[in-house]
Amino acid sequence: MLGELRASTKAKPTAPHGWAPFVVLFLVGLVDRVEHQLMSGALPLIQADWGFSDTAAGSITTAGAVASVLVVLPAGYLTDRYPRTRIIGVVVMCWALVTLGSGLATGFVMFYALRVLLSAAQEIDNPATGSLIADYYPMRTRPKVYGWTRVTEYLGGFGAVLAGLIGEAFGWRAVFLFMAIPGLLIGLLCWWLREPARGALDAKEAEPPSRDAEEAEPPDHDTPSTAPTVRVPLRFGMQLRQVLTTPTLVLVAVGICLLTLGLQGIFFWMPSMIYRTFDTGAGVAGTVTGTVTISGVLLGTVFGSWLGHRADTAFRGGRMAVAGIGVTTGALILMFALFQQALPAFAAGLLVAVMLMSMAIPNNFASIADVVGAESRGLGFAFPQLLLTIGAAFGPMATGAVSDYSGSLVTAFLVLTVPMALAGLPLIAARWTFGRDAQRVLDNARNKKG
């Protein structure tokens, strides 16, 4: 079993379950997002084959996001009540099969329906992943772990590179057929993960600092590591009320929604914009998009994690200020980059913008885990995912519609940078609510243990 609870001489080890769960969950997110971005990289080739409009193309992601809205809260409900590793394993293997079907689709209607189904399925594993990480890793480790698992949202840009290169060499169908293989393999790995105890690390974090590690016996691997340590409320309404009355969570969710509205619209169409504006091939457009996105996200995640920790040490909730300032500044730089006439200048501006906005990744999602109790973390991650999905529902289609109306994807991109710039404001505001919300979680964990 991967993720066995380890005995340690330290009172509060940084990875009591080891790093294998992080690796598996990172791969789940990576394969998920790479598959999602295949459509972006292969889109010029698919449109050339079937001849549908930009509005129709953008509506694929929009329809998928609307379908996701219907499943994300139930996914959070199930996460808080059933083994999370099994939920993720089943979902990953199912969407791998749907990816296979995308490559075998016989017409646009069938392809459209499969992509919508896949988008809905991909949202089910997000609450389970978020909840699992909080029970695998303690508070001081979470920013790095959440940062590197959520960074896959943007590392998925590699899918645009993959789709452009494979699509030009073997046709767009080969892109989806190839991607089904790693999906099935990663799904099997999830079955080997051990389900951690819910809330055990919160209770450990809430212990008085004077307690020595030697006073506590290591938990038995066969019971606490698999059985819940907190009572799950029977009524869904109790959990939803707890989530909606957590100010930090609501502010972060609103910021994520606005940011995703712009990001999904822009990065879905980025290869096509480069392809048209700078007169490149599909392979070059996908490579530039993927390379810049991956590089910027990696740099932003590492720097954002470090800077967020330093800011949080200086003042409570400092990492939320880092997240908000990074998002707004990055959006303004992206706006400036869109006025550049040469591809190298545009790519340089895009790189800086992505790096700054990516500083929010480790800080946002670690904060969600810190301000929601273990008994409701599935729903706690499902709520911002719901708003994220709503934002994603309109971005690509709105970009395509503005492009069709104005005749320019660049104009459409400029429109979408406005909500991205505004997204930083609620994140900055969360700096003043984070300390109180996080302390409440620790106090509740201490009281339940006592």
CA atoms of 119 and 126, how far apart (whole Å): 12
**CA triple 368-252-190, angle to 5 deg:** 40
> Within a domain: residue 6?
no
- C-alpha angle 260/295/116, rounded to 5°? 35
Domain count within the chain: 1
**379 found inside a domain:** yes
Q: How many whole angstroms separate alpha carbon 379 and alpha carbon 386?
A: 10
pLDDT of residue 88 exceeding 70? yes
Task: Tally Cβ neighbours within 10 Å of residue 138.
Answer: 18
Residue 276 identity (one-letter amino acid)? R
CATH number at residue 181: 1.20.1250.20
- Per-residue pLDDT at 224 exceeds 50: no
Tokens 């959006």 found at: 331
The average confidence (pLDDT) of the chain is 83
- Other Cβ atoms less than 10 A from the Cβ of 212: the count is 7
> Which residues are within 8 A (CB) of 245 and not within 5 positions of it... i.e. 6 or more apart?
none
Please state, as a whole number, how many other Cβ atoms lie within 10 Å of the Cβ of residue 303. 17
Which pLDDT band holds residue 449 (cuts at 50, 70, 90)? low
pLDDT value for 149: 84
Query: Is pLDDT at 214 greater than 60 in this prediction?
Result: no
130 within domain boundaries: yes
DSSP annotation string for 294-307:
HHHHHHHHHHHHHH
CA–CA separation, 133 vs 354, rounded Å?
A: 25
Asked, for residue 81, whether it belongs to a domain, the answer is yes
**Residue range 341-365, pLDDT digits in tens:** 899 999 999 999 999 998 988 888 8
**CA distance linking residue 208 with residue 37, whole number of Å:** 46
**CB environment 376-388: b (16+ within 10 A), e (fewer):** bbbbbbbbbbbbb
The pLDDT confidence band at residue 301, using thresholds 50, 70 and 90, is confident
The whole domain housing 370 covers: 20-196+234-449
In a domain, 218, yes or no: no
Rg (CA), the chain: 21
Report residue 433's pLDDT band, with 50, 70 and 90 as the boundaries.
very high
Does some domain include residue 33? yes
Q: Tell me which range, 19-23, 111-115, 131-135, 251-255, is most confidently predicted by mean pLDDT.
A: 251-255
321 in a structural domain: yes
**Residue 8 confidence (pLDDT):** 54
Q: Tell whether the model's pLDDT for residue 113 goes beyond 60.
A: yes
Report for 156-160, 331-335, 436-440, 445-449: range of highest mean pLDDT: 331-335
pLDDT class for 414, splitting at 50, 70, 90? very high
Strands, E assignment, 265-387 = none
Average pLDDT score over residue span 188-193: 87
In a domain, 111, yes or no: yes
For residues 5 and 178, which has the higher predicted lDDT (pLDDT)?
178
Q: Band of the pLDDT at 316, cuts 50, 70, 90?
A: confident
- Kindly state the helix (H) or strand (E) to which residue 343 belongs, with its residue range: helix 343-358
State the CB neighbour count (10 A cutoff) for residue 239: 25
